[in-house]
Structure 1
Amino acid sequence: MTRGVILDTGPLVAALNPHDRHHGWAREQWAGIRPPFLTCEAVVTEACFLAHRFASRAEDAVIALIERGVLDLSFRLADHVSAVTRMMKKYHDLPMSLADACLVQMSRRHPGSVVLTLDADFRIYRSDTRQSIPVWMPDN
Protein backbone atom coordinates (compact mmCIF):
# COMPACT_ATOMS: atom_id res chain seq x y z
CA MET A 1 0.00 0.00 0.00
CA THR A 2 1.25 3.49 -0.74
CA ARG A 3 0.30 7.10 -0.02
CA GLY A 4 -1.88 9.15 -2.39
CA VAL A 5 -1.15 8.30 -6.00
CA ILE A 6 -1.53 10.76 -8.87
CA LEU A 7 -2.00 8.83 -12.11
CA ASP A 8 -0.46 9.87 -15.42
CA THR A 9 -1.58 8.72 -18.87
CA GLY A 10 1.21 6.21 -19.53
CA PRO A 11 0.51 3.76 -16.69
CA LEU A 12 -3.23 4.06 -17.25
CA VAL A 13 -2.94 3.06 -20.91
CA ALA A 14 -0.29 0.42 -20.15
CA ALA A 15 -2.52 -1.22 -17.55
CA LEU A 16 -5.33 -1.51 -20.12
CA ASN A 17 -3.22 -2.62 -23.10
CA PRO A 18 -1.80 -6.15 -22.78
CA HIS A 19 0.55 -5.43 -25.71
CA ASP A 20 2.14 -2.36 -24.08
CA ARG A 21 5.75 -2.98 -23.02
CA HIS A 22 4.94 -1.60 -19.55
CA HIS A 23 1.71 -3.60 -19.12
CA GLY A 24 3.13 -6.03 -16.54
CA TRP A 25 4.78 -3.25 -14.56
CA ALA A 26 1.63 -1.12 -14.58
CA ARG A 27 -0.61 -4.00 -13.47
CA GLU A 28 1.83 -4.88 -10.69
CA GLN A 29 1.82 -1.30 -9.39
CA TRP A 30 -1.99 -1.07 -9.53
CA ALA A 31 -2.26 -4.25 -7.46
CA GLY A 32 -0.51 -2.53 -4.55
CA ILE A 33 -2.48 0.71 -4.63
CA ARG A 34 -5.76 1.36 -2.92
CA PRO A 35 -8.05 3.46 -5.16
CA PRO A 36 -8.94 6.09 -5.94
CA PHE A 37 -6.11 7.35 -8.09
CA LEU A 38 -6.02 11.14 -8.32
CA THR A 39 -5.95 12.32 -11.91
CA CYS A 40 -7.40 14.96 -14.20
CA GLU A 41 -9.59 15.25 -17.26
CA ALA A 42 -6.58 15.98 -19.47
CA VAL A 43 -5.13 12.57 -18.56
CA VAL A 44 -8.48 10.89 -19.23
CA THR A 45 -8.68 12.60 -22.63
CA GLU A 46 -5.17 11.47 -23.58
CA ALA A 47 -5.85 7.95 -22.30
CA CYS A 48 -9.10 7.62 -24.26
CA PHE A 49 -7.36 8.77 -27.44
CA LEU A 50 -4.45 6.37 -26.99
CA ALA A 51 -6.65 3.48 -25.83
CA HIS A 52 -8.79 3.78 -28.94
CA ARG A 53 -5.65 3.21 -31.02
CA PHE A 54 -5.17 -0.34 -29.66
CA ALA A 55 -8.83 -1.38 -29.37
CA SER A 56 -11.91 0.20 -30.88
CA ARG A 57 -13.89 0.40 -27.60
CA ALA A 58 -10.97 0.57 -25.16
CA GLU A 59 -11.97 4.07 -24.07
CA ASP A 60 -15.00 2.41 -22.46
CA ALA A 61 -12.61 0.81 -19.97
CA VAL A 62 -11.25 4.26 -19.05
CA ILE A 63 -14.76 5.62 -18.52
CA ALA A 64 -15.67 2.54 -16.46
CA LEU A 65 -12.80 3.36 -14.08
CA ILE A 66 -14.39 6.75 -13.46
CA GLU A 67 -17.83 5.23 -12.97
CA ARG A 68 -16.46 2.71 -10.45
CA GLY A 69 -14.64 5.42 -8.47
CA VAL A 70 -11.16 4.12 -9.33
CA LEU A 71 -10.24 7.52 -10.79
CA ASP A 72 -10.82 10.69 -8.78
CA LEU A 73 -11.33 13.65 -11.13
CA SER A 74 -11.93 16.29 -8.47
CA PHE A 75 -9.10 18.50 -9.82
CA ARG A 76 -10.62 21.49 -11.64
CA LEU A 77 -8.40 23.18 -14.19
CA ALA A 78 -10.45 26.38 -13.91
CA ASP A 79 -9.33 26.68 -10.28
CA HIS A 80 -5.64 26.35 -11.19
CA VAL A 81 -5.40 27.77 -14.71
CA SER A 82 -2.89 30.51 -13.78
CA ALA A 83 -0.47 28.10 -12.09
CA VAL A 84 -0.84 25.53 -14.88
CA THR A 85 -0.23 28.17 -17.56
CA ARG A 86 2.86 29.46 -15.72
CA MET A 87 4.30 25.94 -15.56
CA MET A 88 3.65 25.26 -19.23
CA LYS A 89 5.50 28.48 -20.09
CA LYS A 90 8.35 27.65 -17.69
CA TYR A 91 8.86 24.19 -19.20
CA HIS A 92 8.05 25.14 -22.81
CA ASP A 93 11.36 23.70 -23.99
CA LEU A 94 10.37 20.12 -23.03
CA PRO A 95 7.45 20.92 -23.85
CA MET A 96 5.15 20.36 -20.88
CA SER A 97 1.71 19.06 -21.82
CA LEU A 98 -1.49 20.31 -20.24
CA ALA A 99 -1.90 16.92 -18.54
CA ASP A 100 1.63 17.06 -17.07
CA ALA A 101 1.08 20.61 -15.81
CA CYS A 102 -2.17 19.57 -14.14
CA LEU A 103 -0.48 16.59 -12.46
CA VAL A 104 2.39 18.73 -11.18
CA GLN A 105 -0.14 21.20 -9.78
CA MET A 106 -2.01 18.30 -8.18
CA SER A 107 1.23 17.11 -6.56
CA ARG A 108 1.69 20.60 -5.14
CA ARG A 109 -1.84 20.51 -3.70
CA HIS A 110 -1.42 16.98 -2.26
CA PRO A 111 1.83 16.94 -0.26
CA GLY A 112 3.15 13.43 0.26
CA SER A 113 1.58 12.15 -2.94
CA VAL A 114 3.54 10.39 -5.67
CA VAL A 115 3.03 10.57 -9.45
CA LEU A 116 2.70 7.17 -11.12
CA THR A 117 4.17 7.81 -14.57
CA LEU A 118 6.28 6.53 -17.44
CA ASP A 119 7.35 10.07 -18.36
CA ALA A 120 10.95 10.94 -17.41
CA ASP A 121 10.09 14.66 -17.69
CA PHE A 122 8.60 14.35 -14.20
CA ARG A 123 12.18 14.02 -12.91
CA ILE A 124 12.79 17.55 -14.25
CA TYR A 125 9.63 19.24 -12.97
CA ARG A 126 9.83 20.93 -9.56
CA SER A 127 7.47 21.78 -6.73
CA ASP A 128 6.78 25.29 -5.47
CA THR A 129 9.78 24.90 -3.15
CA ARG A 130 12.04 23.69 -5.99
CA GLN A 131 11.97 20.12 -4.71
CA SER A 132 11.69 17.25 -7.15
CA ILE A 133 8.22 15.79 -7.70
CA PRO A 134 8.00 12.34 -6.08
CA VAL A 135 7.57 9.83 -8.90
CA TRP A 136 6.99 6.13 -9.22
CA MET A 137 8.20 4.81 -12.56
CA PRO A 138 9.95 1.76 -14.00
CA ASP A 139 13.72 1.64 -13.69
CA ASN A 140 14.31 1.37 -17.44
Structure 2
Amino acid sequence: MNSKTAKSIIAGKWGLKSGSTRLGGGLQKPEEDSKAPRRSAEEAVKGKGKGADPERSGLLEKILSLEKEKEKHNHLLGEKDKEIQSLKDKLRSKPKNSEVSLLRSQLEEKTKEAEKREQLLCSLSEEINCLKYNLSTVTIKFSEIENKAGTSQASQ
Protein backbone atom coordinates (compact mmCIF):
# COMPACT_ATOMS: atom_id res chain seq x y z
CA MET A 1 0.00 0.00 0.00
CA ASN A 2 1.52 3.34 -0.96
CA SER A 3 1.30 6.59 0.99
CA LYS A 4 -1.31 8.02 -1.35
CA THR A 5 -3.66 5.11 -0.56
CA ALA A 6 -3.20 5.55 3.20
CA LYS A 7 -3.91 9.27 2.86
CA SER A 8 -7.03 8.55 0.86
CA ILE A 9 -8.17 6.03 3.51
CA ILE A 10 -7.67 8.53 6.30
CA ALA A 11 -9.06 11.43 4.27
CA GLY A 12 -12.06 9.35 3.22
CA LYS A 13 -12.71 8.24 6.78
CA TRP A 14 -12.56 11.71 8.27
CA GLY A 15 -14.29 13.40 5.35
CA LEU A 16 -11.27 15.49 4.36
CA LYS A 17 -10.12 16.22 0.86
CA SER A 18 -6.43 16.44 0.16
CA GLY A 19 -5.11 19.91 0.86
CA SER A 20 -8.37 21.35 2.23
CA THR A 21 -10.55 21.21 5.29
CA ARG A 22 -14.11 20.04 5.39
CA LEU A 23 -16.60 22.72 4.49
CA GLY A 24 -19.72 21.04 5.87
CA GLY A 25 -18.88 21.69 9.51
CA GLY A 26 -19.66 19.16 12.23
CA LEU A 27 -18.92 15.46 12.20
CA GLN A 28 -20.33 12.97 9.77
CA LYS A 29 -22.31 10.04 11.04
CA PRO A 30 -20.05 7.01 11.35
CA GLU A 31 -22.49 4.78 9.47
CA GLU A 32 -22.38 6.83 6.27
CA ASP A 33 -19.00 5.95 4.86
CA SER A 34 -17.05 4.24 7.60
CA LYS A 35 -17.48 0.64 6.45
CA ALA A 36 -15.40 0.69 3.25
CA PRO A 37 -12.43 2.68 4.65
CA ARG A 38 -12.44 0.54 7.76
CA ARG A 39 -12.10 -2.62 5.69
CA SER A 40 -9.19 -1.04 3.86
CA ALA A 41 -7.62 0.01 7.14
CA GLU A 42 -8.15 -3.48 8.57
CA GLU A 43 -6.59 -5.03 5.48
CA ALA A 44 -3.65 -2.66 5.78
CA VAL A 45 -3.21 -3.56 9.45
CA LYS A 46 -3.36 -7.27 8.72
CA GLY A 47 -0.53 -6.87 6.25
CA LYS A 48 -2.29 -7.34 2.94
CA GLY A 49 -0.67 -4.17 1.65
CA LYS A 50 2.79 -4.54 0.14
CA GLY A 51 5.80 -3.16 1.97
CA ALA A 52 4.00 -1.65 4.95
CA ASP A 53 6.47 -0.17 7.40
CA PRO A 54 5.98 -0.67 11.14
CA GLU A 55 5.27 3.00 11.90
CA ARG A 56 2.56 3.17 9.29
CA SER A 57 0.94 -0.09 10.37
CA GLY A 58 1.09 1.11 13.98
CA LEU A 59 -0.72 4.30 13.02
CA LEU A 60 -3.30 2.33 11.07
CA GLU A 61 -3.83 0.05 14.06
CA LYS A 62 -4.25 3.10 16.27
CA ILE A 63 -6.77 4.57 13.82
CA LEU A 64 -8.66 1.28 13.74
CA SER A 65 -8.76 0.97 17.52
CA LEU A 66 -9.89 4.59 17.88
CA GLU A 67 -12.64 4.02 15.30
CA LYS A 68 -13.85 0.94 17.18
CA GLU A 69 -13.81 2.89 20.42
CA LYS A 70 -15.70 5.72 18.73
CA GLU A 71 -18.38 3.27 17.52
CA LYS A 72 -18.65 1.83 21.02
CA HIS A 73 -19.09 5.30 22.52
CA ASN A 74 -21.60 6.27 19.81
CA HIS A 75 -23.61 3.15 20.68
CA LEU A 76 -23.49 4.04 24.39
CA LEU A 77 -24.52 7.61 23.58
CA GLY A 78 -27.46 6.28 21.60
CA GLU A 79 -28.57 4.18 24.56
CA LYS A 80 -28.21 7.15 26.91
CA ASP A 81 -30.22 9.33 24.50
CA LYS A 82 -33.00 6.74 24.54
CA GLU A 83 -32.90 6.65 28.34
CA ILE A 84 -33.01 10.45 28.52
CA GLN A 85 -35.96 10.54 26.14
CA SER A 86 -37.86 7.94 28.13
CA LEU A 87 -37.23 9.90 31.34
CA LYS A 88 -38.42 13.10 29.65
CA ASP A 89 -41.56 11.31 28.47
CA LYS A 90 -42.11 9.97 31.97
CA LEU A 91 -41.64 13.45 33.39
CA ARG A 92 -44.15 14.92 30.92
CA SER A 93 -46.72 12.30 31.83
CA LYS A 94 -46.12 12.79 35.56
CA PRO A 95 -48.79 15.48 36.09
CA LYS A 96 -51.38 13.22 34.52
CA ASN A 97 -50.26 10.37 36.73
CA SER A 98 -50.35 12.58 39.81
CA GLU A 99 -53.92 13.61 38.96
CA VAL A 100 -54.87 9.97 38.56
CA SER A 101 -53.20 9.04 41.83
CA LEU A 102 -54.95 11.96 43.55
CA LEU A 103 -58.31 10.79 42.21
CA ARG A 104 -57.54 7.22 43.27
CA SER A 105 -56.72 8.33 46.80
CA GLN A 106 -59.93 10.37 46.94
CA LEU A 107 -61.87 7.34 45.70
CA GLU A 108 -60.26 5.18 48.39
CA GLU A 109 -61.21 7.75 51.05
CA LYS A 110 -64.81 7.88 49.85
CA THR A 111 -64.95 4.07 49.74
CA LYS A 112 -63.70 3.85 53.33
CA GLU A 113 -66.23 6.48 54.42
CA ALA A 114 -69.02 4.53 52.69
CA GLU A 115 -67.92 1.31 54.43
CA LYS A 116 -67.94 3.08 57.81
CA ARG A 117 -71.41 4.47 57.14
CA GLU A 118 -72.64 1.04 56.13
CA GLN A 119 -71.26 -0.44 59.36
CA LEU A 120 -72.93 2.34 61.36
CA LEU A 121 -76.21 1.71 59.56
CA CYS A 122 -76.00 -2.02 60.35
CA SER A 123 -75.23 -1.37 64.01
CA LEU A 124 -78.06 1.18 64.23
CA SER A 125 -80.47 -1.30 62.63
CA GLU A 126 -79.46 -3.95 65.18
CA GLU A 127 -79.89 -1.46 68.01
CA ILE A 128 -83.34 -0.43 66.70
CA ASN A 129 -84.40 -4.09 66.50
CA CYS A 130 -83.14 -4.66 70.03
CA LEU A 131 -85.02 -1.58 71.28
CA LYS A 132 -88.20 -2.73 69.50
CA TYR A 133 -87.90 -6.11 71.20
CA ASN A 134 -87.38 -4.43 74.58
CA LEU A 135 -90.36 -2.13 73.93
CA SER A 136 -92.60 -5.05 73.06
CA THR A 137 -91.39 -6.91 76.17
CA VAL A 138 -92.06 -3.88 78.38
CA THR A 139 -95.45 -3.35 76.73
CA ILE A 140 -96.41 -6.98 77.38
CA LYS A 141 -95.28 -6.74 81.02
CA PHE A 142 -97.16 -3.46 81.42
CA SER A 143 -100.30 -5.05 79.99
CA GLU A 144 -99.92 -7.98 82.37
CA ILE A 145 -99.51 -5.61 85.31
CA GLU A 146 -102.57 -3.61 84.22
CA ASN A 147 -104.57 -6.82 83.87
CA LYS A 148 -103.47 -7.95 87.34
CA ALA A 149 -104.31 -4.51 88.74
CA GLY A 150 -107.69 -4.58 87.00
CA THR A 151 -108.51 -8.07 88.26
CA SER A 152 -107.34 -7.27 91.76
CA GLN A 153 -109.57 -4.16 91.87
CA ALA A 154 -112.47 -6.13 90.51
CA SER A 155 -112.02 -8.82 93.11
CA GLN A 156 -112.02 -6.31 95.93
Instruction: Give TM-score scaled by structure 2 length.
Output: 0.22
Tell me which protein shows more strand as a share of its residues. Answer: 1
Bigger relative contact order (CA 8 A; separation at least 6): 1
